[in-house]
Amino acid sequence: MSSDPVAKWEVFVRNRYWDELLELADSYPERRSLLISFSDLDRYDPEFADDLLENPDPALDAAGTALLEIDLPIDVVLEEAHVRIVELPQRFNTSELRSDQIGKMIAIDGLVRTVTEVRPKINSAAFECQRCGHLFYKEQTSSKFQEPYDCPNEACDRRGPFKLLLSKSRFVDAQNVRIQESPEDLRGGAQPQTLDVQLEDDMAGQIYPGDRVILNGILRSYQRTTQTGKSTYFDLYLDGNSMEMTEQEFEEIEISPEDKKIILDLSKNPEIYDEIKRSIAPSIYGYDDVKEALALQLFSGFAKALPDGTRIRGDIHILLVGDPGIAKSQLLRYISKLSPRGIYTSGKSSTAAGLTATAVKDELGDGRWTIEAGALVLADKGIAAVDEMDKMRKEDRSALHEAMEQQTISVAKAGVMATLKSRCALLAAANPKYGRFDKYEPVAQQINLSPALMSRFDLIFVLTDDPNDQRDSAIAGHILQSNYAGELSLQDGVSQDEIDLAMKVIQPAIEPELLRKYIAYARKNIFPTLTEEVKDQLKSYYVNLRKQGADSDKPVPVTARQLEALIRLSEASSRLRLRNEITLEDGERVIRIVESCLRQVGVDPETGLFDADVIATGISKSTRDKTRLIKDLIREVCTEHQGSAPVEEVLERAEEQGIDRHRAEDIIGRMRLYGEIIEPRNGFLKIP
Ligand code: ADP
Ligand code: MG
């Protein structure tokens, strides 16, 4: 079949894409692209379609010419229109590109990491010969600006000088984007590979950092240059032809009518709460309360736009603080896998963008400034699981306030101003500064997060690793059993039944695939409202909390944020049962969860009473009083001894004042840790 490719395109478009072409002609030049599905072309003429993949440049040129030549019933010329091919048969990751793909049309699947500003790029430069006045055009085909060598006017033929006429030149909007492999495609620990993509005209300015896309285009290469000249190595980039959004949010998961029936049935199960709890990280033993909270985080409250323009977030932020080795990281990983657009990252992330975003001067846009998205942007509309949050960078620390509450991240640097969206729920884990958790020390200080940041979490769980025979042996049994089940599945000659039996303890009650659909259904369809009773219930709980704070003589710790948290959580709780009304049962549930968290964080470890000061300032009043008292004692004894104070004597006096020995030793130990007192020699103390 050696017929003229232009004619072939004409026939194809007339036959299969006539309506689309008319639509395009109708809205031209606002719309300039005719999208053609590769499979349609393939069905029409497989050989022709193959040729498009193998030799895309002439094929696409022919397609463009065909658009111009087709007789249209409307009086327009589709001069600047593009044929864009979508749904290519095979998609590649950025790390799968090889040299034999150069020059071919391919589809790349990935996550947008950075985008440059959209800027005009000269396509066709108009020059005027300054000698003879001849006006001519020079097409600009490469990234390097090409100037004329001599005047094309034969009568002149001189070598200029030439003047570039901007007003007569043709420009096109252009943008460079860099995509990387999606995190879920990365094999453990591998560095994501990136690929730069050039987008022009109506494709520029369409995608943002964090978007998951398929970019179709022609893979091209250019020679690297080093300081010593041209290198034998080449770099790759994609000359973009079309893009397809692939981003899947919870809301976008497809739910078939059969799925819907299963979901509705499931929601009527009176045990649904337990079932879902048992479906979250089943390989991890215990943590019922944490798993319950994680379930609520997945179902999420919903964002509300108020008439005055403010927006209240619906995403639930959760912080897990605790001793090392208690499966915090495991929980985070599990959730980030379960949630669409879930991202797992560490606070000390290696990229420049870190958790939030940054503007970087980038080689990809001729040294233009580009915005690079960090974890919270990449997880937009999903869940960002941030491990070792205590180790995050200073820049992130301040940007996080805005990111968590307003759910935007503003970048203003070197003239680049951008506001990125970070509408994700944050699930963070933090290890205590000194390795292990100190019960007498306020949480905020031990994890190196400011109270302002802490107050943005809806729930904070403190998980300690206290030895407890019963629990320890249960965990051990659980871990041994999961490992055993894993071993069995690798053995020959073991029947599936035996494996299933062994796996039983770590089997989720609801399969992850179904759970995702269930959550997606709830998030898409269920928007429950508070009933009057629940409003009263939450209000009185909140007012009570405030009162407890007001009774102590220090600032009130519980802010309106906690009330918003209660509302979000009860919305999630109601969604979990697919109910459109928030009931007292939901209210009770979330009050129980919030209460247990507040107690862990805000309880004075000495008196066991809820202490306002613990959250507000990070130190409980009684601890602060005792610390001050002991410091005074040390000073006193120092003066008496005209030097340093013997520990023994300090402890005795503390005991006289009603602080038992054990407690006093604790407080002294901590003061030493913070450098408030020093031990010049063994058994003696001094205030520096
Ligand atoms: P962390 O991040 O808290 O330091 P990890 O998530 O790295 O801890 O967990 C360490 C290991 O201990 C993991 O392999 C985890 O599976 C195991 N582990 C700890 N606690 C439990 C538990 N309750 N149930 C099952 N496994 C556990
Ligand atoms: Mg860890």
Return the number of other C-beta atoms located less than 10 Å from residue 52's C-beta. 26
pLDDT at 259: 92
Task: Express each pLDDT in 284-306 by its tens digit.
Answer: 888 889 999 999 999 999 998 88
Contacts of 328 (CB under 8 A, 6+ apart): 320, 322, 387, 429, 431, 463
Q: Tell me the average pLDDT across 624-645.
A: 86
Q: Of 463, 479, 483, which is best to mutate to test ligand 1, by the most ligand atoms within 8 angstroms of its C-beta?
A: 479
So what's the pLDDT on residue 526? 92
Higher pLDDT, 91 or 366: 91
What pLDDT score does 670 carry? 76
Q: Which residue's alpha carbon is nearest to atom 13 within ligand 1?
A: 327
Poorest-pLDDT segment among 150-154, 311-315, 358-362, 579-583: 358-362
Of the listed ligands, the closest to the CA of 285 is 1
Report, in angstroms and rounded to the nearest whole number, the Rg of the chain calculated over CA atoms.
32
Q: Is it the case that residue 604 has pLDDT exceeding 80?
A: no
User: In the predicted model, what is the mean pLDDT of the chain?
Assistant: 83
Which atom of ligand 1 lies closest to the CA of 285?
24
Percent of the chain with pLDDT over 70: 88
* pLDDT tens track for 506-551: 778 888 889 989 998 999 899 999 999 999 999 998 888 777 655 5
Residue 3: strand, helix, or coil: coil
Q: Which ligand is nearest to the CA of 436?
A: 1
What CA–CA distance (Å, rounded) separates 658 from 654?
6
Looking at residue 455, what is its pLDDT? Answer: 81
pLDDT mean over 484-488: 81
What pLDDT digit, counting tens, does each position of 184-235 carry? 555 444 567 889 999 999 998 888 877 788 999 999 988 887 788 888 888 8
Distance from residue 217's CA to the centre of ligand 2 (Å): 41
- Ligand 1 pocket test, pick from 284, 290, 326, 329 with the greatest ligand atom count within 8 Å of Cβ, gives 326
Give percent of the chain above pLDDT 90: 30
pLDDT, one tens digit per residue, over 333-352 is: 999 888 877 888 887 765 66
Q: How much is the pLDDT for 348?
A: 76
Range among 115-129, 142-156, 351-365, 405-419 rated most confident:
115-129
Report CA(352)–ligand 2 centroid distance (Å). 22
Query: Hey, what domains does the chain have and what are their CATH numbers?
Result: 5-86 (3.30.1640.10), 91-247 (2.40.50.140), 310-466 (3.40.50.300), 526-616 (no CATH), 621-685 (1.10.10.10)
Which residue has 């978007």 as its token pair? 211
In this predicted structure, which of 210-214, 317-321, 633-637, 669-673 has the lowest mean pLDDT?
669-673
Angle CA 525–340–449, to nearest 5: 105
Q: Which ligand is nearest to the CA of 391?
A: 2
- Which protein residues are within 6 Å of ligand 1, measured from CB? 284-286, 324-330, 475, 478-479
- Per-residue pLDDT of 546-596, as tens digits, reads 776 555 544 345 677 888 999 999 999 999 999 999 999 999 999 999 888
pLDDT of residue 268: 92
Backbone phi, then psi, for 300, in 5-degree steps?
A: 70, 150
Chain mean position to CA 420: 12
Q: Of 198-207, 415-424, 443-452, 675-684, which has the strongest mean pLDDT?
A: 198-207
